[in-house]
Amino acid sequence: MMTEQDTEILIVGGGVGGVSAALAALERGRRVVLTEETDWLGGQLTTQLVPSDEHIRVETTGRNASYARFRDLLRSHYRAFYPLTDEAAADPHLNPGAGWVSPVCVEPRVILSVIDGLLRPFVSAGQLTILLETRPVAVATSWDRIDAVTFETADGAEIVVSASVVLDATELGDLLELGGVEHVTGRESREQTGEPSAADTADLLDMQGVTWCFAIDHRDGEDHTIDRPARYEHFRDWRPSQLHGERILGFERAPEHAGDPARAYLLTPNPDDDPFGIDVDHRNMGGAPELWTYRRILARRQFQPGFFASDVTIVNWPMNDYIGGPLFGTPDAAEHRAAAKELSESLLYWLQTEAPRPDGGAGWPGLRLRPDIAGTADGFAKVPYYRESRRILAERTIVEQDFSVEILGDNAAVSYPDSVGVGHYFWIDRHPSTGGHPGGGGRPQPFEIPLGALIPRRVDNLLAAAKNIGTTQITNGSYRLQPVEWSVGEAAGAIASFAVAGATTPRAVRNDERLLAAFQEDLVAHGAQLRWDSALRW
């Protein structure tokens, strides 16, 4: 059975960028269809089990008002419904998980609840249609426009949606492939981008590793050991060249730089730590931090004594970064997808049975998967955490020399005339890749998001709204993070609305000084931050 729908703005992909884009368009009065391949909205934050990676200034600057509201609502949920300690409840910067990856580490279902609350009024008003478990399978084009996108639902039905403007907010840039939109994958060469840190040669299949995250707690004295994975020995003994010969399933890591000491990660399930003692400034974390508190999303000591028997943490560690091969763009992608999950299963089994403990023993059999947290039957994320997507060949490609501290020194990042948002992170967070790169990418100055990076060079009514914007593999390491993706999505939803209202195109807006100024005024009026304080540096 096939049905047809027509809307003003079609947003394909319900991740961080897709949700933010939908809110921006809806608040400007537009009619929106939002589709999502899984049964949860939220992308990185929910289906992939990745607490938000945030910069140190996020509480006061370097984010849009909409993102600040989103974070406030997450905290309000805990204050309203959870038995917090008096100290935690009074903390204006409440961090329920007391994780150090972000000042607000929370459960994915709480994020899902807040997203639903933000979108529900527009659904009730008939302004927004949400299609879950619906994946794009075809794109119809004419000349340099997308006419319609065909979707397949979980029960095999087909839905064809036409729209004035289409946003690709998928995790892997699906519409770029389906619609024949010019794009790049993998690594670029130095000749292509001019980036000092780029490789001598390009490789379309050299992509950053993916991570199949999972949620665990620890029940001391109990045995929750999973069945031994079929390829456990293979993964236990795997020594990828990217790790300089170290076993991937191990706490030991080679020095990051010549002359540095070797590193050893620590793991202490349910430490008797002070949740207010967590330092979220990554510049102080050292080369090998404590893993349990890294992405902890429930810290039992933030709640009334005895309410939670254990913390809950997300395992997204160097040990389950899968670098055996890419998960798209190659005939054996499905095999690598299965292997990525089996690496994570092997990591858990190793932690439960063989991992060296500080007391000289081996393994923590009390480590227990939490399917209720992940929203899956087995406790592993619904989908892998993808760090890279297909990336559009954009009107403006963001390159390393635009914001790298190592290149710019104490100078500010490039300021774009068409800035539509800002972002920052501690590192240009490039992970080990399938082509042998060990990772690492230097440091970014606080940066801006150019509108040109959201606009393809040819197709007029398509916008990138997630990790598929015009970055390089290197600059993707900062622009892929959740708060930046939120700002990208908001800008995409806003420019789509502006174009629909003015019967024009995003490209025409960007290239007309008067229209661009009017659009940027609209963004600012809705709480977007377009510039940093000129004095701020990394």
Place of tokens 């290197």: 474
Lowest mean pLDDT among 56-60, 102-106, 154-158, 255-259: 255-259
Q: Is the pLDDT of residue 254 over 90?
A: no
What's the whole-number mean pLDDT along residues 273-281?
93
Region(s) of the chain under CATH 3.50.50.60: 2-83+107-187+387-399+453-525
Give the pLDDT confidence score for residue 286 in this predicted structure. Answer: 73
Summary mean pLDDT of the chain? 96
CA distance 141 to 177: 13
Q: How do residues 77-121 score in pLDDT, each as one tens digit?
A: 999 999 999 999 999 999 999 999 999 999 999 999 999 999 999
Place of tokens 């399978």: 137
SS3 per-residue string spanning 416-478: CCCEEEEECCCCCCCCCECCCCCCCCCCECCEEEEHHHHCECCCCCEEECCCCCCECCCCHHH
CA distance 524 to 530: 7
Give the pLDDT confidence score for residue 256 in this predicted structure. Answer: 66
Place of tokens 């040819």: 458
β strands within 1-57, DSSP E: 2-12, 32-35
| Cα 250 to the center of its chain, rounded Å | 25
DSSP 49-115: -------TTTTTSSS-HHHHHHHHHHHHHHHHHS-B-HHHHH-TT--TT--SS-S----HHHHHHHH
Q: How do residues 135-149 score in pLDDT, each as one tens digit?
A: 999 999 999 999 999
CA distance 22 to 31: 9
Question: Phi and psi of 259, rounded to 5°?
Answer: 95, -15
Token digits of residue 506: 């995003």
Of the candidates 240, 247, 233, the one whose C-alpha atom is nearest the C-alpha of residue 356 is 247
| Cα 415 to the center of its chain, rounded Å | 24
For residue 427, how many other CB atoms are within 10 A of its CB? 18
Q: How do residues 146-189 score in pLDDT, each as one tens digit?
A: 999 999 999 999 999 999 999 999 999 999 999 999 999 999 99
Token digits of residue 250: 């191990």
Q: Which residues, at least 6 apart from 227, have a Cβ–Cβ distance to it below 8 Å?
A: none
| Cα 21 to the center of its chain, rounded Å | 15
Of the candidates 241, 234, 240, 310, the one whose C-alpha atom is nearest the C-alpha of residue 272 is 310
CA distance 353 to 374: 23
CATH number for the region 2-83+107-187+387-399+453-525 comes to 3.50.50.60
DSSP letter (8 states) at residue 183? E
Q: How do residues 285-337 score in pLDDT, each as one tens digit?
A: 777 679 999 999 999 999 999 999 999 999 999 999 999 999 999 999 999 99
CA distance 55 to 309: 31
The model's confidence at residue 440, banded by pLDDT at 50, 70 and 90, is confident
What's the whole-number mean pLDDT along residues 406-434?
97
Q: What share of the chain is helix, strand, coil (3-state, %, to 5)?
A: 30, 20, 50
What's the whole-number mean pLDDT along residues 14-23?
98
What's the whole-number mean pLDDT along residues 260-275?
90
Q: Is the pLDDT of residue 259 over 80?
A: no
Give the pLDDT confidence score for residue 257 in this predicted structure. Answer: 62
Task: Report pTM.
Answer: 0.97
Give the pLDDT confidence score for residue 197 in this predicted structure. Answer: 95
CA distance 519 to 85: 45
Q: Is the pLDDT of residue 258 over 70?
A: no
Q: How do residues 478-533 score in pLDDT, each as one tens digit?
A: 999 999 999 999 999 999 999 999 999 999 999 999 999 999 999 999 999 999 99
Length of the chain in terms of residues written: 538
**Buried/exposed code over 225-258 (b: 16+ C-beta within 10 A; e: otherwise):** bbeebeebeebbebebebbeebbbbbbebeeeee
The model's confidence at residue 283, banded by pLDDT at 50, 70 and 90, is confident
